[in-house]
Amino acid sequence: IKKVSGACIQCSYGRCPASFHVTCAHAAGVRMEPDDWPYVVYITCFRAKSRKKAITVGQTVITKHRNTRYYSCRVIGVTSQLFYEVMFDDGSFSLDTFPEDIVVKSIRLLKWPDGKLYGAKYLGTNTAHIYQVEFEDGSQIVMKREEIYTLDEELPKRVKARFTHQHFTSLWFKTKSLLYFLGFLQFQTTSTS
């Protein structure tokens, strides 16, 4: 008896139970992306995609800081960007290729960030919402929607493990700012007397 088997992958969104055979998921257009260890691949099923709510300017969200930890931050800008989806001649693919990186559409050449030209097949387009966020330390970063979690969304285990609560540092910064302000007011009233 010949036994046929294959690996299954599970949606990475929260506790979503959806699982897929790898080849079937790829054929169905399920989004699969490389991720940080120990979750080598990040998979988002169609149900998880539809659960993502719109984010507005001023909203507090959670996302990854440059130091690779997750923090609360505030959305300070929202834009949308058209991307091309392409499959390279070696079988790999990109879902976020900028239109200006397509050099010759009829010959299907693509200029990659390394400056080299690669053969690729056009698959389609998608529009991504890009969010500019500001962290408490004043640093800013630009993130896609799938990299951001609202306060009412369940955080995946990998995010929870790297999430740093800022309540104490936030209180410290606010107290420090208030003390400086009060000191400034006191200085102003004594210097004008």
Cβ–Cβ < 8 Å for 42, 33: yes
Q: How far apart are CA 30 and CA 32, in angstroms?
A: 6
pTM above 0.85, yes or no: no
Minimum mean pLDDT range among 1-5, 63-67, 90-94, 140-144: 1-5
Task: Choose between 20 and 139: higher pLDDT.
Answer: 139
Q: Which residues pair with 60 in a beta bridge?
A: 74
pLDDT tens by residue, 55-73? 999 999 999 999 989 999 9
Please tell me the predicted confidence (pLDDT) of residue 55: 92
The answer to whether the CB of 82 falls within 8 A of the CB of 125 is yes
Residue 115: left (phi > 0), alpha (psi -120 to 50), or beta?
A: left
Tokens 């390279």 identify what position?
88
- 190 falls in which pLDDT band (50, 70, 90)? low
Peptide bond just before 34 cis, omega within 30 deg: no
- In this prediction, residue 147 has a pLDDT band, given cuts at 50, 70 and 90, of confident
| Average confidence score pLDDT of the chain | 76
Give one DSSP letter per residue of 87-103, joined into a string: EETTS-EEEEE-GGGEE
pLDDT of residue 3: 63
Distance CA 118, CA 103 (A): 10
Q: Report which of residues 157 and 3 the model is more confident about.
A: 157
* Cα within 13 Å of Cα(158), Cβ side: 15
Give the tens place of pLDDT for each residue, 83-137. 887 777 787 777 778 888 776 665 566 777 888 887 877 777 778 889 999 999 9
Report the relative pairing of strands 117-135 and 70-88 from DSSP bridges. antiparallel
Q: What is the pLDDT of residue 12?
A: 73
Question: For residues 165 and 151, what is the distance between their CA atoms, to the nearest angstrom?
Answer: 12
Decide if pLDDT at 1 tops 70: no
pLDDT score at 59: 94
List residues bridging with 54 in a β-sheet: none
Domain ranges across the chain: 1-51, 53-167
> Which CATH architecture is the domain 53-167 placed in?
Roll (2.30)
